[in-house]
Structure 1
Amino acid sequence: MAITYEWRGELENSAVNALHAEGFNHRILDVDWLAQVHRHSLGWVCARLDGELVGFVNVAWDGGAHAFVLDTVVKGELRRSGIGAGLVDAAVRGARAAQCAWLHVDFEDDLRAFYLDACGFKPTTAGLIAL
């Protein structure tokens, strides 16, 4: 299985919407990902298998030192194969190349091993307000 990763790769809204719906267990929405990532993101990573989008991660930022991993998602039958870690690794390289000092991620507890062990993030103290 030859997965390719592309920083700021070409993407189609329909492909990202379908992948996001499957990964986050919701109906397919009509989100304009192209406009969103071009307007708000430092970059994003597309993972492809034989040309098909099988993984995606968005890297938002504050315009300076801080970048944020959002929406890491891998096609269902390919999860736990290293693609997610590959997406995050490419995101780390992209943020580093942009001279960010920090890459942040928030995650639910069931993803702790993925982000801390597989991807190398360190635990921090953080706060959150549900809106």
Structure 2
Amino acid sequence: MTIAYVWRGHFDNAAINALHAEGFGHAPMEDDLWAQVNRHSLGWVCAKENDELVGFVNVAWDGSVHAFVLDTMVAERFRRRGVGSELVAVAVGQARAAGCEWLHVDFDDDLKDFYFGSCGFRPTHAGLIAL
């Protein structure tokens, strides 16, 4: 398995929407995620085997020192092989290179070991309002 990790790599909407549906357990959408990340994100990381998109993470930001990990996803057949942690590692490096001082992430409890154990995040106090 040879995976290439590409910062701000190209992806097509059909591929990312299918990966998002698989990763988050919903029906495929028809969102224009390419336009969305180009408008709002510091960057993103694509994991590709050959030309197939097998993983993705979005790095949103405030335009200054805070960046945010969103939508980390890995195709099921590539999970538990380090693809997700490498996606996040590239995101960390690129956010640092862009001058960000903080990289935030929020996640469901079942991903605690991944983000704290595999990716190096540490617990903090945070708040959330469901809208």
Instruction: Bin the TM-score by the shorter chain.
Output: over 0.9
Residue deviations 1:81-114 (CA, integer Å, cap 9, x gap): 1000010001001101100000000000000000
Normalising to structure 2: TM-score of the pair?
0.99
State the secondary structure of the residue aligned to 1:84.
Answer: helix
List structure 1 runs of 4+ shifted beyond 2 angstroms.
Answer: none
Residue deviations 1:8-58 (CA, integer Å, cap 9, x gap): 001101100000000000000011011100110000000001221000000
Aligned Cα RMSD in Å?
0.5
Q: Which runs of 5+ in 1 are unaligned?
A: none
Residue number in structure 2 paired with 1:44: 44
Residue number in structure 2 paired with 1:23: 23
Residue 56 of structure 1 pairs with residue 39 of structure 2: no
Residue 71 of structure 1 pairs with residue 71 of structure 2: yes
Q: Which runs of 5+ in 2 are unaligned?
A: none
Residue 13 of structure 1 aligns to which amino acid in structure 2? Answer: N
Residue number in structure 2 paired with 1:88: 88
In 1, Cα distance between equivalents of 2:80 and 2:130 = 29
Normalising to structure 1: TM-score of the pair?
0.99
Equivalenced residues, count: 131
State the secondary structure of the residue aligned to 1:70.
Answer: strand
Residue number in structure 2 paired with 1:8: 8
Residue deviations 1:50-70 (CA, integer Å, cap 9, x gap): 221000000000000000000
In 1, Cα distance between equivalents of 2:4 and 2:123 = 29
